[in-house]
Structure 1
Amino acid sequence: MDEDAAPRRVRADAERSTARILEAAENVLATDESASLERIADAAGLARATVHRRFSSRTALLDALAAQLAARYVQGLADAHTDTAPPVAAMLRMTETVFTLKIAHRFAVQLSASVTPEVLEGLDRLFVRLRDAGAIAAADPTWGRRVYLALLHEVNDLPADSPVLPAGRDEVAARAELLVTTVLRALGGTGI
């Protein structure tokens, strides 16, 4: 039985180390995009060799950050019930999740690899539902998704005190409301 316990312990240790590396990488790279793996190892409180054992290169580390964020986007789509909830409500919930992720993971959101085919397909299904429910008039759901993603970056880049953000709301809710209303109106809907 002790033989079975050892591999689990090593695996748990490796998982904790990987999580620490990814968290440290996110924090360090948010302030210095060119930070070295050594600096990330220091921030994680681990030896550089440990970082290299987990990630063979800087590219592998960036790929892991993108994959982690993509998984969170997919989970956000599921949590917002984009396939079953009323489509406008689902879009608003999903958008709040996206802005929460964007605020918490400022570096990783710049990684285009985090927008995977699975994320794009989930968004396309949502835009089909929005069209079918009459919330948008745009015939092509892919166009709706592209408008949404383009405006998402623009709304994310607004300063917190921007006069276009709805007043009296927390940052995430204000950004989500502005984005959803703008996209729905741009695509022939009436907004929220």
Structure 2
Amino acid sequence: MSVQLVPLHIPSGWAILHNSFGDVDPVIEHGYIINGEFFNENLLSAKPIEFNGIDWVTVGDGYLLQLGWYPEYRPEGCYRLTVSQGSDDQKIVVKYESKEREEIRQVLQRCLGWVSRHVGIDEIGSLLEIEGKQIDKNPLGFRGVRKKIAGISGDKLNRLTYSQVGWWSPVYYEVCNMAYLDQKSNRIDYNGFTPENKMA
């Protein structure tokens, strides 16, 4: 089964030298990530390019943007995005780390845009510090309230009770599915909830 790469909007003026930034969760066995091709230290590399009158070439002393997972293949690791400057001895001028794929995607795109607009590297660091706190890490539906919902019901319950949610039953079931990793099938009989959907 092919794995889709994380969708990115690359501004003009950039060359993607390498990209294996997969839109996939780690698969862990025996304490290691076995789909390590998406969780190693070389996931994405990008450099600015310029037109030299004949062809587009990478800027020799320009920036280098790199993304990797550190330490590679380890479940406790995280994504690390760096922006380096210089041609021979690359000096890291910006570094950002997160375990959240969506968060690192947004930061990556911001960095690409800022460098394209010639924002100063010191300013990029300051902007990341400010905007990093505001980035939507979970853009889909109820993901952002997952922990809050789980906290309401307690760890031992497999379902929120209907009275705790107070919504129309299809919405209730959908919220329950999104709120727990260990989902149970949702079945309704003509009398209402089946026993597995009742409060424990």
Give the TM-score normalised by the residue count of structure 1. 0.29
Q: Taking CA–CA contacts closer than 8 Å with sequence separation of 6 or more, which of the two structures ends up with the larger relative contact order?
A: 1
Q: Which has the larger radius of gyration?
A: 2
Q: Which has the higher helix share?
A: 1
Q: Which has the higher strand share?
A: 2
